[in-house]
Structure 1
Amino acid sequence: MMAKHLSYDDRLDIEKYLKSNYSLSEIARELNRHKSTISREITIRSRTVKKGCYGRNYNACIHRYSCESDRVCSDKKCSRKYKHCKFCGRCNDYCEYFRVDHCEKLQSTPYVCNGCEDRRRCTLTKFIYDATTAHKSYEELLVESRIGIESSPEEIKKLDEFIKPLVNNGQSVHHILVNNKDKIMVSEKTIYKYIEIGALSVKNIDLPRKVRYRPRRKVQRGYKVDKKCLEGRRYDDYLAFIEENKDISVVQMDSVEGNKGGKVLLTIHFVDVSFMLMFLRDANDAKSVEECFQMIVDASGSEYYKRLFPVILTDNGSEF
């Protein structure tokens, strides 16, 4: 059975095999790992090295062999010990004709320079897999993922060693907790949290039921409206008001939505004159409605605004 995490010894072996020009499949076979695990490890944890070779400074320019430029940096303090700037380590930083060159070998597996025969005479950017650096990066990531965990590393390890075999036997986290209340001192929710953030070697794919359930879709609901805001403003109140003020002009207002979460039209319909104003808003919220009416107030003046809108009929949308 394949282990979950690569150890430092595994990474030392990867570095050794890369230097010997093993293929990813061969390395995976030697370490009893899946090829994708090895590929991901090398791709993620390789380090970039901008360093030249014996007797040559770093130079990643595509013109590095033919270029004869000099005085590129215009630095009076330049020692000018080189006849041409292409031999200087600062050439790429200052030259206006610099064009980066990429090694074609890095486009194919194993994506690093560890076993390259040309490495000793190459001045391009190199990608090196170093076991010590890779393992340090892994440990730092592990520490970051465990921030907020109240259990000590020893307690996490003990919990992992206890739960892992039971999960492998097909038991659920709930079943394990019910039958081992005196041995497990954390809640079911906490264990699922540890699994989710990678603190345990148990993964979601190992759980017998969890992988069968799709995550619930989050339903976007409208904002809750304080019911007190509706007092005196319900449809019955509107009808009573119109009954008492039959000559008053009614304005109807509504929101017209396209795609959910996209831009929204605010429509203001002056019923008596069959005239409609429309405002395009970025979101369907109360703030955007308020901004539209502020534009009308600024354009018409407060007195004329009151004459324009003696009463407005809307639905119960939260934006109103």
Structure 2
Amino acid sequence: MCKSIPGNQKHMTMDQRIIIEKRLDQGNSLHSIALQLGKDPTTISKEIKKHRTIQEHSHFNESKNKCALIKDCKKKNICEIYAPICKRMCKLCNHCNSHCDDFIPRSYHCSKLDKAPFVCNACSKKSGCRLDKAYYRATIAHREYRTVLIESRTGINISPEDLIRLDELVSPLIMQGQSPYMILQNHPEDPLLRKNALQLH
């Protein structure tokens, strides 16, 4: 644990996850986020990597040539089917990858995701980026956490359907700044909320 920051090892709350998302959107460092939440930077790092959402790269207007070497490739007539008639470079052919012995599949992984902050939330190039992306979203992270928690605990009797409905009701209200106590007070008639009141905190 980082000695400069007093660690708080309690479970991460929805409010704390919202702070993490907002600070990541602003480009803050994990150290500064940890300092604000009173947690170790390693805890924040693990939270982000565990609950980040992967968004596959866009396939719109994507080249059918999937070779990583396409940019510098000058090869011609590798298939020998149309030689010497074909004068085009092979990288412009849809069948190039299946004939070339030097074919290397193109990777859509961004190396920046291997180091802090491990997500694209504040990346200035994300709008035009053709690589796979990763984002930290508080509502998704908390939903995943609650699902794992409920499945791992005994004595908490709630179905997956009820869990989803509870999350859909509670998460937006917490995002608006309402505390669990306020939510319970404003929805006294909801049996699902009353039944799981202790688990909201």
TM-score (norm 1): 0.35
Structure with greater proportional strand content: 1
Q: Hey, what does 1:139 align to over in structure 2? A: 146
**Equivalences for residues 94-113 of structure 1 within 5 A:** 97-113=104-120
Cα distance in 1 for partners of 2:22, 2:143 equals 18
Q: Hey, what does 2:92 align to over in structure 1? A: 69
Q: Hey, what does 2:127 align to over in structure 1? A: 120
Q: Hey, what does 1:44 align to over in structure 2? A: 50
Identify unmatched segments of 5+ residues in structure 1. 74-84, 86-95, 154-198, 200-320
Could you tell me which of 8, 27, 35 is aligned with 1:21?
Answer: 27
Cα distance in 2 for partners of 1:105, 1:50 equals 15
Q: Which amino acid counterpart does residue 50 of structure 1 have in structure 2?
A: E
What secondary structure does 1:48 align onto? Answer: strand
Cα distance in 1 for partners of 2:105, 2:20 equals 35
**Equivalences for residues 112-261 of structure 1 within 5 A:** 112-146=119-153, 149-150=154-155
What is the total number of aligned residue pairs between the two structures? 131
Cα distance in 1 for partners of 2:134, 2:115 equals 13
Cα distance in 1 for partners of 2:9, 2:42 equals 14
Q: Deviations over 1:75-106 (max 9, x none)?
A: xxxxxxxxxx9xxxxxxxxxx54231532322
Identify unmatched segments of 5+ residues in structure 2. 1-6, 74-90, 98-102, 159-198
Deviation at 1:121, TM superposition (A): 1.0
Q: 1:133 to 1:61 in 2, by over 3 A?
A: farther
Q: 1:11 to 1:65 in 2, by over 3 A?
A: farther
Cα distance in 1 for partners of 2:125, 2:13 equals 30
Q: Which amino acid counterpart does residue 131 of structure 2 have in structure 1?
A: L
Native 8 Å contact 1:43 1:111 kept in 2: yes
Q: 1:50 to 1:24 in 2, by over 3 A?
A: same
Q: Which amino acid counterpart does residue 127 of structure 2 have in structure 1?
A: R
Deviation at 1:63, TM superposition (A): 4.3
Native 8 Å contact 1:113 1:119 kept in 2: yes
Q: 1:15 to 1:33 in 2, by over 3 A?
A: same
Deviation at 1:19, TM superposition (A): 1.1
Q: 1:97 to 1:23 in 2, by over 3 A?
A: same
Runs of 4+ in 1 over 4 A off after TM superposition: 55-61, 63-67
Native 8 Å contact 1:62 1:100 kept in 2: yes
Q: CA RMSD in A?
A: 3.4
Native 8 Å contact 2:68 2:104 kept in 1: no
What secondary structure does 2:54 align onto? Answer: strand
Q: Deviations over 1:127-181 (max 9, x none)?
A: 21111111111011001111xx24669xxxxxxxxxxxxxxxxxxxxxxxxxxxx
Report which of the two structures shows the higher radius of gyration computed on alpha carbons.
1
Q: 1:102 to 1:140 in 2, by over 3 A?
A: same
Q: For CA contacts below 8 A with separation 6 or more, give which structure has more relative contact order.
A: 2
What secondary structure does 2:92 align onto? Answer: coil
Q: 1:102 to 1:3 in 2, by over 3 A?
A: closer
Q: 1:18 to 1:98 in 2, by over 3 A?
A: same
Cα distance in 2 for partners of 1:11, 1:61 equals 39
Q: 1:100 to 1:14 in 2, by over 3 A?
A: same
Q: Which amino acid counterpart does residue 20 of structure 2 have in structure 1?
A: I
Cα distance in 1 for partners of 2:137, 2:54 equals 11
